Copies of this chain bind each other. A is one copy, B any other.
């Protein structure tokens, strides 16, 4: 998917919501556990119910790998289901990969070609030659970790590197990577005030913002500092939507939560 197609979808749906599919068998409604593939059944119901309110879905790959071959099958079925039934949706493999060149190419093939995700999250620690193999794929997006939403972000990401924080260094250096136009960035919502500095470095890039809701981030603050000329934000919510209810009404409860966020986004987009 091109960035332009993503932007068009955002304006059409008046939403820049991304729904995280962090599916844990201990948290989904009990009645699904009798199904052949409970994870896929859960995802399918959530996607069918909320697809008009969200522009993207983000399976968290750890939650699938934790179930081995079965989990990987659930992941394959989920991404295929989205790509066949809702091809307008932007899909994110939240994988946080990153390795030396030939290994990164293998990961890129796995997620961009075999699974046909539109994007993948990548850790920057190993530098340029660990990121560029992902950037080589046309109309695929590499979402680099910049400033994450967890407490551990302050261990290294905000440390001063030659006069500026490491995450700013990551943003600046990555702009010189080959095919840098395929980059997006992860910026945690719990640190909304950092967004104005970030926008000075990368005014045009899309930001994937986790941490609204469960992790305490505030949508208005994020938008105040983070919106750009083409919206430029994807706000992710996972647990707050998909686990809104653990009863038979889980899909309806998810719609209710997603609708609250979509309405708030519509208001922000309209007033802008």
Determine whether the beta carbon of B159 is less than 8 Å from that of A100: no
Asked if A69 is at the interface (CB within 8 A of a chain B CB), the reply is yes
A199 shortest CB reach to chain B, Å? 22
Binds B, one of A120-128, A218-226, A247-255, A260-268: A120-128
Asked if A50 is at the interface (CB within 8 A of a chain B CB), the reply is no
Q: For A24, A126, A169, which residue has the most chain B Cβ atoms within 10 angstroms? A: A126
Determine whether the beta carbon of A156 is less than 8 Å from that of B129: no
Determine whether the beta carbon of A169 is less than 8 Å from that of B156: yes
A224 shortest CB reach to chain B, Å? 24
A40 shortest CB reach to chain B, Å? 13
Asked if A73 is at the interface (CB within 8 A of a chain B CB), the reply is yes
Interface residues on A, range: 35 or more
Which residues, 20 to 75 on A, are CB-close (under 8 Å) to B?
22, 24, 60, 62-63, 65-69, 72-73
Determine whether the beta carbon of A151 is less than 8 Å from that of B127: yes
Determine whether the beta carbon of B110 is less than 8 Å from that of A68: yes
Taken together as a complex, chains A and B put the C-alpha atoms of A161 and B151 apart, in Å, by 19
Determine whether the beta carbon of B155 is less than 8 Å from that of A127: yes
Which residues, 143 to 164 on A, are CB-close (under 8 Å) to B?
145, 148-157, 159-162
